[in-house]
Amino acid sequence: MGMKIASHHWMRMIDPLEKVFARLSRCGYDAIELSGEPHKPGYSVPEIKSLMEKYKIEVWGAVTLMIQGRDLVSHDPEVRAKSIQYCIDILDWLKPLGGKEITVVPGEVGRIKSVADPDDEWKWGVEAMRKIAAHARQLKIKVAIEPLNRFETNFINNHKQALLLAQEAGDDVGVCLDAFHINIEEEDPVAAIKAVGKKLYDFHVADTNRRPPGQGHHDWDAILGAIAKNGYEGCLTNEFVIPDDRTPLNPAKGDPDALKGMTPEEIKFYVDHAMAVLNDEDYTRHVRATADFLNGWLRKRGLKDGAPAPKKKAAASKARRNSSWLAKDCCLMVAPG
């Protein structure tokens, strides 16, 4: 099928799915990687199927949102059991939507302190992933384990650890790599991509500063080239996180309603990511920037239908990035407490 581009949408949780699908369609995306919330109002299978048809956006898969209370390696057996069931519920939700993969973050995001000894955590992680993989196997959905950087989790931080856990969970379990995380944790991000090889089931896109690609210092020709050489035929999934600027360099105001309706656990998730809550206009600008970059790269190399992006536009985009991107990110500051 070749590579396509998808996007997460947890970076702006306030938006109803209708708005999310409409934005992705306007910006040139092929698919969505759903936030793993199968029981959330507005996220039912019939509602999502209607949006898929209306906006011609596929469901690529889903990612587990490991907010507080979701943790496959918790010391509390009840939390582990509920977290396994949470992943199984996502799989059952994905199947009728045509989802092809689930990306699983094993531990709670934001918990960086150990709650048990390493042997127990590893045992719990393997047990949980085996149960999840067994259910996914029945539904013919791929399971990808995602390593996060050490400042977001203390369990599974690099590709070697993810590959080992995948190996113990089942021969058909793979890995999701994130360009931002591998920049922190891998000695050589490109070598990590090559080492994962055919086990690469999903790839999340953000630059070294977690902004859209091209706005940091990743060598995207090398990264995307390595993915292509692996024979990867999945989605490149947008996942920028714009940092929370709490200084006078950011005089702009954000969306006053951006946090309304969010649970305390969801707000904590934002705080733990040190992220700004962008207003609709600026958020959409970043969504489009990622799509333009990825579609342009793929088309230039004949990996996707359509004409390459005009060079003049690319040059203008680079000029805009180099000229005070700090002042353009209108955001609402999210502070702990």
Quote the pTM value: 0.88
Residue 126 domain-assigned (yes or no): yes
How many domains does the chain divide into? Answer: 1
Residue 217 domain-assigned (yes or no): yes
Residue 277 domain-assigned (yes or no): no
Residue indicated by tokens 């999934």:
237
End-to-end CA distance of the chain: 47
Residues 6+ apart with CB under 8 A from 289: 212, 214, 215, 317
Residue 82 domain-assigned (yes or no): yes
Distance CA 199, CA 195 (A): 9
Reduced to 3 states, what is the DSSP secondary structure of residue 175?
Answer: strand
Residue 101 belongs to a domain with what CATH number? 3.20.20.150
Handedness of CA 205, 207, 210, 212 (dihedral sign): negative
* pLDDT (tens digit per residue) in 135-150: 999 999 999 999 999 9
What local confidence, expressed as pLDDT, does residue 277 receive?
73
Residue 263 domain-assigned (yes or no): no
Residue 330 domain-assigned (yes or no): no
Residue 103 domain-assigned (yes or no): yes
Domain extent at residue 91: 4-242+289-311
269 or 130, which is more confident: 130
Exposure of 42 in the CB half-sphere (CA atoms within 13 A)? 11
* pLDDT band of 319, cuts 50, 70, 90: very low
Residue 184 domain-assigned (yes or no): yes
Torsion of CA 171, 202, 165, 206, to 10 degrees: 160
